[in-house]
Amino acid sequence: MRIKWFSLVRITGLLLVLLYHFFKTVFPGGFIGVDVFFTFSGYLITALMLDEYTRSKTFHFLAYLKRRFYRIVPPLVLMVLVTIPFSFLVKSDFRAGIGSQIAAALGFTTNYYEILTGSSYESQFIPHLFVHTWSLAIEVHFYLIWGLIVWFLAKRHYSKGQFRGLVFLISSFFFGLGLVSMFGRAFFTTNFSMLYFSTLSHSFPFYLGAMVATVSGISETTARFKRTARLWSSKRTIAQMVLSFVLLLALTFLLHFDHILTYLFGFALASLFAVMMIYAARVLHEKTEGIAEPKWVSFLADTSYGVYLFHWPFYVIFSQIAPNLLAVVLTLIFSYLFTVLSFYIIEPCLIGKQPVLLGVSIDLAAYKKPFIGVVGLLASLTLVTAAVAPYMGSFEESLLVNSLNQADANLTQTNNVTAGDAKALSSIMIIGDSVTLRSSATFTSQMKEAQVDAAVSRNFSEAYEIFKNNIDSNTLPSTVVIAVGVNSTSNYEEETNQFVEALPKGHRLVFVSPYNAKSLDAVKAVRDYEKSLAKKYTYVTLADWYQVALDNPDIWGGTDGVHYSDATTTGAELYVKTIQQAVTAAAKKAAK
């Protein structure tokens, strides 16, 4: 039984995700689209389970797994196979470790793979092509766990009412467990990606959907739901759907991935608004008995899963070789092309049905051998690519080398101080991110007096921890350079102010303005605020890397727009010179 208007829930989830990936600076909270999918999946799967038990007093676990397999696996495999040839359009860094990524995607463990490799969901400058399958991994974990629980309950032969009540109680328990886990762990982590990827913490939307399914249903509805459907007017039902959508859209503007409030309340609110929309859609189905769902709405809903799968690797690839708007257009074209191929042709063939496209039955008997040949060719290319792909990309390798050199240089400074050479201890400390790390060798040659502490994906919060530890241990140098910001474009006012407020007397502070060619408005806002701090306080100075980066477009050819090209030393020299000049200027002004 197809419920009309559930399609709008699916479309909403996909729309929010696409807006986030395509225009992240405008819709920084669009990642909650995944939670809309999670909540709807929990509702739909549970409602179907309840329907099956009501009809037959049993639940066929193997048949359930088979249905899930045919819906999930074919488009996933196709996505992996067609992504590999496209990956040769960009530099080899995007294929580094691709074999492990493929294994994690097909094994539904991408979320744990990302956790174990220490990846950051938002701050990967060489994004994993299959990182988006983290959500599919959590969804499959839910399907397995929930399926086994419901199968076990079904074996006890409870009455229909008892069965529904137990499903509600157990789903409530898992909902509370996940919600408490996310809420509590949010206070004890600085890398929210680890929390975001967690099956335990991020599964609660599924169980909220399951709870609502027990009080409404699909074919077998409750007396309470029937009364609601009778009492609610069509106008009220539509108003709740619209309000739910507006509230979800509002969250895409208000939430930020790296803010604790997102984890304390944001995902819970997104799931709540999603169930409001789902429930209203279910009521609206009853209120519009004589109205058919528009075919284009059904099409967008039916293809939502496939488009979610295909869009991310295509967008990563196309955004490297084309302007953003063109990359978006190309992404949508290829995503829908392959999704239609999968949903309307390949998947029906695999389950023994006649493929039908635009109302026309398609006989694929004559194309069976060529199809198998193409699949075999793609599979071979995928295996060869995975076998020969480097374990680490050149970009990551250079960062690792610079990190080791930085550690060696800092160790040398420490040893000299221990030996009594006080002059070797710098009066300058640079706390930076991967851009600073990339410049380590140039700092060593041009700013030998500086102590550099840089790390990949470092944000303001992590930099402040280092800053505060040095204050507490009374080892803070006279001039402190804060060279982060690309990974902290939200809540930057509060986070930069904490450095100013905590700076001890007799010290100076230098902020290095961040630069990201793909998020100019966001980094400019950070830079402008840092500039205002430099005007307000004599002991604060701005090293305007943002402006220098704009003035030297030649250093960005073939890069991610954050890390200057290493084809020449120009980028590193400009970066270090910008900081060096700011430090010199700071020394001429009064300390705090």
pLDDT tens digits for 508-558? 999 999 998 878 888 899 999 999 999 999 999 999 999 999 999 998 876
Domain range list for the chain = 6-388, 394-587
Query: Residue 480: helix, strand or coil by DSSP?
Result: strand
Torsion sign (Cα): 250, 253, 258, 259: negative
Question: Above 60 in pLDDT, residue 404?
Answer: no
Both tokens of residue 390? 């480097």
pLDDT band at 413; cut points 50, 70, 90: very low
CA 409 – CA 451 distance, rounded (Å): 8
pLDDT band at 502; cut points 50, 70, 90: very high
- For residue 420, the model assigns a pLDDT of 34
pLDDT band at 414; cut points 50, 70, 90: very low
Question: Above 50 in pLDDT, residue 424?
Answer: no
Question: Above 90 in pLDDT, residue 127?
Answer: no
**What's the per-residue H, E or C state across 271-336?**
HHHHHHHHHHHHHHHHHCCCCCCCHHHHHHHHCHHHHHHHHHHHHHHHHHHCCHHHHHHHHHHHHH
Both tokens of residue 268? 């819970």
- For residue 238, the model assigns a pLDDT of 96
Q: Which class for 89: exposed (0-12), middle (13-18), buried (19 or more C-beta within 10 A)? A: exposed
Put simply, whether the predicted model's pTM sits higher than 0.85 gets the answer: no
CA 99 – CA 41 distance, rounded (Å): 29
- For residue 505, the model assigns a pLDDT of 92
Question: Above 70 in pLDDT, residue 392?
Answer: no
- Mean pLDDT computed over 292-304: 95
- For residue 423, the model assigns a pLDDT of 32
Question: Above 60 in pLDDT, residue 123?
Answer: no
Lowest mean pLDDT, pick from 10-19, 509-518, 564-573: 564-573
Higher pLDDT, 475 or 11: 11
Question: Above 60 in pLDDT, residue 498?
Answer: yes
- Mean pLDDT computed over 412-427: 42
pLDDT band at 490; cut points 50, 70, 90: confident
pLDDT band at 568; cut points 50, 70, 90: confident
CA 516 – CA 562 distance, rounded (Å): 5
Q: What is the share, in percent, of the chain residues with pLDDT greater than 90? A: 65
Lowest mean pLDDT, pick from 10-24, 250-264, 444-458, 475-489: 444-458
- For residue 310, the model assigns a pLDDT of 98
CA 48 to chain centroid, in Å, comes to: 29
Both tokens of residue 108? 């539904």
Lowest mean pLDDT, pick from 328-332, 363-367, 384-388, 496-500: 363-367
CA 56 – CA 404 distance, rounded (Å): 64
- Mean pLDDT computed over 150-171: 94
Q: What is the share, in percent, of the chain residues with pLDDT greater than 70? A: 92
Q: Are 97 and 119 in contact (CB under 8 A)?
A: no
Is the domain spanning 394-587 CATH 3.90.550.10? The answer is no
